[in-house]
Every structure is written in C-alpha cells, then in structure tokens.
Chain A
Amino acid sequence: MADGKGRMAYGSDDTPESERSERAISHQANDESLGNGIMVPIHYHLMLSAVLFTIGALGVLLRRNTIVIFMSVELMLNAVNLSFVALARQWGSMDGQLIVFFVMAVAAAEAAVGLAIILMVFRNRETVNADELNLMRW
C-alpha cells in the first residue's frame, strides 16, 4: 500500500488520473484528521525548542553526576531536532528531516562511546562525580 503510494508520488507518471485524485483526497482528509484548524505559527515551535535547550544547558551546569550531564546533552540534541523538524515542515522541504536522521546516528554513536568511557572511568576511580575527575584540569 505504502509502496504503491510512493511510486505514484515520486516515480514514473503512469498512474491513472482517477486513482491519483482519489489518493490526493485521502491525503487531505488525513491532514484534517490531525487537526489543521488553527495552525500554530513557526516561532511557537522554535520557542519550545529554546526552552528545552536551556533546561538541558542548565542540567549540564547544575549536576555533578556524569550520567545525568550526559542525559542533559541528549536533551539539548532533541531540542535542536525539534527546531529542525519544525522548520522542515515550515518550508515544505525534506532536508531538515534528513539532518535529524544524521543527528540521531551521531547521538547513538556518542552514547555508545560515552557510556563505555564512563564505565571505564568508574572501574578505575570508583566515582562518576564530575568534580573528582580532574586529571586533565589545567
């Protein structure tokens, strides 16, 4: 079902006209079912993203537990993803969503390596307190 729809939208133009208009109508109805009454303007999404980003930055500054600091960084990444998706919707372009795709891949890699480092540090030092891990302090 989804396969056929995509081929219709992006592939060759051999679909009959009647089928195409029917699909267009169904897509429109789908839009309305998600509540297209009064659209929230773009800066509302961006301001929500700003609030989440600031809360994440506050977490990085406020906490000493390395794992919670790490989770706050993930929170900041998610806030940025939100503004990318909102802007992609605003301009009707897929590029923003692709950037989010790459951000997710980088965040997954970062989480794997970062948590492995935290594990190793805990094994050597018996702590994950960021203030006690000052070996590389200038």
Chain B
Amino acid sequence: MDAITFTVLSVLMVASAIRVVLNRSPVYSALSLVMLMSLLAVYFLYLDAHMVGVLQIIVYAGAVMVLFLFVIMLLNLQDSIQDYRQEKLWTMGILCATLFGELWFFFGRAGGESSAQHAVPEGFGTVISLSQKLFTDYLLPFEITSLLLLVAVVGAVVLAKR
C-alpha cells in the first residue's frame, strides 16, 4: 500500500468513524458504519487479505448492518439531544486520552529496526490458503464457532419471540 492510498483511505475511515459516534440519528450512524466497513474491506484488499475483505463486505456491511437497521426501524426512535452525556466529560476525555496515548506509544515503537516487511507466500490471503489452514490447524476453533453460532441463533429466536 502506497502513501497516497493510505492517506485517502485513513482520512475517509476516521471521518466516517467520527460520524458514527457523533451523529444524532442512529440511522445515519449505521450508514456511516456501513461506509467505514466498506472502506476497511478495500484496505484489507490492499493488505493482501482478499478473502477477509470479501467476508468483511458480506458479513459486516451486509448481514450485521442490515440487522442493525432493521432493529432501528423497528424501534422507531426519535432523535434527542438527551442522547449525549453532558456530565463527566472531563473524565471521559482523560480516559480516552490515556487509552490513545498508550496505544500510540506502543504502536509507534513497532516501526523499529525489525520493521522490514516479510515476503508473502504465493496465494497469500486467498480462499484456498485460508481454508486449508482453517480445516487443519484451526479445526477445533472452527467447530466451536459453529456451535457458538447455533447457540446464538437459538438465543436470538427465544429472546425475540416473547
């Protein structure tokens, strides 16, 4: 990924992330989040993660966000100024600044002497290489994930049915 692509993508992503947090209407927040996830999928493609980028579009920007929009429309919420906390803003600011400072400090050191990028093997990030690893080294976590999804489906149906 070159510098221009990185700059364009990161500026757009940070702008849409800020819109997610600060927008008064939950629908606009959700749409900004869809935009952020699509941009992130493009970012993944540039980082040689083809399969993950496609999954990002299908699972996140498609399925999860449609679920969010459905629930927002089902609840029919009104926009309200009450939605933002007015108190304890200083505590919030200090907490977030500390978190950001820590992350920035440790991540900034990652670009040290050993920061040369390793060569990627052929087929890196494609469906074949990902699934080959998924069905050999990560078989048990994969099966546990299927169980988790089953439990989630049953739980969601039971909760929403009443």
Q: For chain A, what secondary structure do more than half of its interface residues adopt (helix, strand, loop), or is it mixed?
A: helix
Q: For chain B, what secondary structure do more than half of its interface residues adopt (helix, strand, loop), or is it mixed?
A: helix
B110: chain A residues within 8 A (beta carbon): 42-43, 46
Are B20's CB and A94's CB within 8 A?
Answer: no
Size of interface on B: residues with Cβ below 8 Å to A: 89
A121 → chain B, closest Cβ, in Å?
A: 10
Identify the B interface with A (CB < 8 A): 1-3, 5-6, 10, 13-14, 17-18, 20-21, 26, 29-30, 33, 36-37, 40, 43-49, 51-52, 55-56, 59-60, 63-64, 67-68, 71-72, 74-75, 77, 82-85, 92, 95-96, 99-100, 103-104, 107-111, 115, 117-130, 132-134, 138, 141, 145, 148-149, 151-153, 155-157, 159-160, 162
Could you give 25 example pairs across A and B, Cβ below 8 Å?
A: A9-B122, A9-B128, A9-B129, A10-B123, A10-B129, A38-B3, A40-B1, A42-B111, A46-B110, A47-B103, A50-B104, A53-B99, A58-B96, A62-B21, A65-B26, A68-B26, A90-B115, A97-B49, A98-B133, A102-B138, A102-B141, A107-B60, A113-B155, A116-B160, A120-B160
